[in-house]
Chains A and B, each alone.
Chain A
Amino acid sequence: MAVRISRLAAGLAAMAVLGTVAGCGGGKPVAAADRTGELTVWLTVDAQESWPDLVAAVNARFRKTYPKIKVNVQYQQWTTKNQKIDAALAGRNVPDVVEMGNSETTNYIVNGAFTTVDPAKFDHSAEWLPALRDACRDNGKTYCVPYYVGARVGIYRTDLLAQVGVDRAPRTFPELRADLDKLKAKFGAADKNFSAFYMPGRYWYAAMAFVKDTGGEIAVRENGRWHGALSSPRSVAGLTAWKDLLDAYYTGDRSKDNGDEPAVVGQGKVGMFYGNTWEAKAATDSRSGGDPALRGKFATFAFPGPSGKLLPPFLGGSTLAIPAKSGNQDLAQDWIRLFTDRTSQRRLIAADTLPNNTAQLREVAAGGVNGPAAQAAERGWVTPLAPGWGAVEKSNVLQEMLQDIATGKRSVADAARAADRRIDAVINEH
């Protein structure tokens, strides 16, 4: 209560001071302190769930410069966000700041949805992570600002591994397979629902990491045109390695994706899985279907790939963009500047995500839950920055290919060729 009263008092005092200041002005261009209006910011629910205090702190800092601007933060679900953005952008009443996944930006940029920003105004912009920076650039101009990134890691049950006599995370691919073999022999024999390694068939972020590991690509650009490259020998080798792992250690439904991974892991019948660091926490949280009894029984590790190096993780990240139709572009830029500066990034690191720049990547504690992610992030990759990439994702080309491979409906080469044809059909379209 005391806090609220003092805040109210401060607000009133500020308003009184401003009132006198405003009285003296007149004739000059409107000062920052006198600007009125509303700034609408669309963030995804991650901010609401994991760093609401950062949003509040940035709004407070923003208010110091623009006391009369009301910042209206609205939280969106990833699944419906873009439909809402499309609808808003087609109209006149657009949000001033929108959060965009780094695999979503290109299509909006080439279609003129966002305004340019000046990277020089932002902290650490020279060291922005390529995975985010490249997703924001087109023809040498920058259209969005990197926000944060996440990388997948290996996660294992420490207690189960201890029961088969293993007391540390695997460091090489053969070591990983040896551990999985032991888990399978001990627990899989008694329970046919036990998966030594959880890898549902439609989990494309994981499968594509194997493609990247063997030097393959999802799609490549030649002479200005993109085309699918999944049927190239190297990509096929990666897909085959992925399939081998799945055949050997996964017992679940092969036509599923990883949407309910924490809940399945929470059932206790999974030895290891490949996922985001927060998923280990979610697997022990009954609200997401997990089991609280498993608390403290998970550890993360940098996942070794069949190539001998770390498995290159997909760097799924977010950026912040300003719609070209926004009437508050300078305010929006100022808000983003505060929300992505080094102070804010430090808060994000504390919330177990990776920062938007390589300089602060070093601040991530190597021994912490996200240490392996920071370590693997250097080999990270992003989806092809092609105008039609969104269409490839949303028409489930990769998922269907992987499902066909995982279920054995088609050979790896066959399924990859079919997927390439479907990619070619849409990837160059705006």
Chain B
Amino acid sequence: MGTVELPGPPRAAPPPHRPRTARAPRPRRTLRRRLLPYLLIAPTVLALAAVLGYPLVDLVVLSFQDMTRRELFSGAPPPYAGLANYRSILTDGFFWTVVGRTALFTVACVAATMVLSLLVALLMRRVAPWVRTVMTGVLVAVWAMPVMVAASIFRWLSDADYGVVNWLLGLLPGLDFSKHNWFEDPWQGFAVITGVVVWGAVPFAALTLQAALSQVPAELAEAALVDGARPGQLFRYVTWPVIKPSAVLVTSLSAIWDFGVFNQIWLMRGGQPEKEYYLLGVYSFIESFAVNRYSVGAAIAVVTVLMLLVGAVVYVRQLVHLGAAE
């Protein structure tokens, strides 16, 4: 309110700086206009702060403490440990093995997801409308399948004694896959797990890319063909530039999801994953709730979050980029 009275006679101690007094009548409106977006976003921010922010802060605090079950049961505050937890994991070779494995797993999953879903999306543009409807229905059904169910089914399919996969492969001439255990060798085991993850990720990516593909102007493609472009060139110079923003978004989102994969591994290894199957999420969970090193588990989780932020930055930059283009 004070600002409105500004044109009045100067007082003993005038405001030291007021270069914009000429625009005095406007502040009330700009203030309201400036506040409005914040008011509108406030519920979201508050909800996020409550369900994500608070646990995250708690997690970070926990990672700098030395929390044991004694403190858990008695309610006494755990002693501070400084950087000890971080030092112990960062100097542990096994931690870096898990980090490398998680990164490799993420790259493999994302690459497979993107290639497959792009192929599915391109196919959907070509087929008859009713086929496209059927494909969409199937994709949505896959998308709706709970991870729990999907992982159990894949586990049965790849079962060593009774699995359909071994039986089918055994039908091929010269192959004997009876009693072949897919999880004995972690490379093969991860191939199956990658299969579940990719299977579950393709629908979202394919439907998004399909939507992006529908934005490619038909006349542009026709013109290119008239000019003698080959299919490869058509994709490279006409289609790709249009769908690229969506592709980058889907890629970064998939990377974030795949980096944090937990359920598929946990379920497919029957809740008892071998050390060769630890990814960062599983490792953090085991340290926290099996070995009861709550603080070390928290430190692993914090490092994981920091690594995920890299993926998030790419995602947010792309969002900002899209916003600027409009």
Contacts and interface: CB of A to CB of B under 8 A. Distances in A.
A113 B73 contact: yes
Interface in B139-177: 159-161
Interface string A151-171: 000000000000000000000
Contact of A391 (B272, B274, B292): B292
A429 interface: yes
User: Which interface residue of B69, B74, B181, B286 has the most chain A CB atoms within 10 A?
Assistant: B69
A409 interface: yes
Nearest to A82: B289
B271 interface: yes
B32 interface: no
Contact of A253 (B73, B159, B273, B286): B159
Interface in A381-418: 388, 390-391, 394-396, 399-400, 403, 407, 409
Interface string B59-76: 000000000111011110
A320 B161 CA distance: 40
Contacts of A399: 272
Contacts of B275: 400
Interface string A243-256: 00000000111111
A89 B74 CA distance: 8
Interface in B252-300: 270-275, 286, 289-293
A106 to B, nearest CB: 12
B270 A111 contact: no
A23 interface: no
A112 B73 contact: yes
Given A86-B72, A111-B69, A255 B291 contact: no
Interface in B26-76: 68-70, 72-75
B161 A395 contact: no
User: Which interface residue of B70, B184, B293 has the most chain A CB atoms within 10 A?
Assistant: B184
Contacts of B270: 257, 259
Contacts of A426: 291
Interface residues of B, number: 27
Interface size range of chain A in the complex: 35 or more
Nearest to A83: B289
A79 interface: yes
A193 interface: yes
Nearest to A192: B178
Contact of A400 (B68, B274, B291, B292): B274
Given A193-B161, A429-B291, A430-B70, A254 B274 contact: no
A395 B275 CA distance: 9
Nearest to A399: B272
Interface of A: 79, 83, 86, 89-90, 107-108, 111-113, 192-193, 202, 251-257, 259, 324-325, 388, 390-391, 394-396, 399-400, 403, 407, 409, 426, 429-430
Interface of B: 68-70, 72-75, 159-161, 178-179, 181, 183-184, 270-275, 286, 289-293
Given A251-B179, A430-B70, 12 more contacts: A89-B73, A90-B73, A111-B70, A113-B73, A253-B161, A253-B181, A255-B181, A391-B291, A394-B291, A395-B290, A396-B272, A430-B292
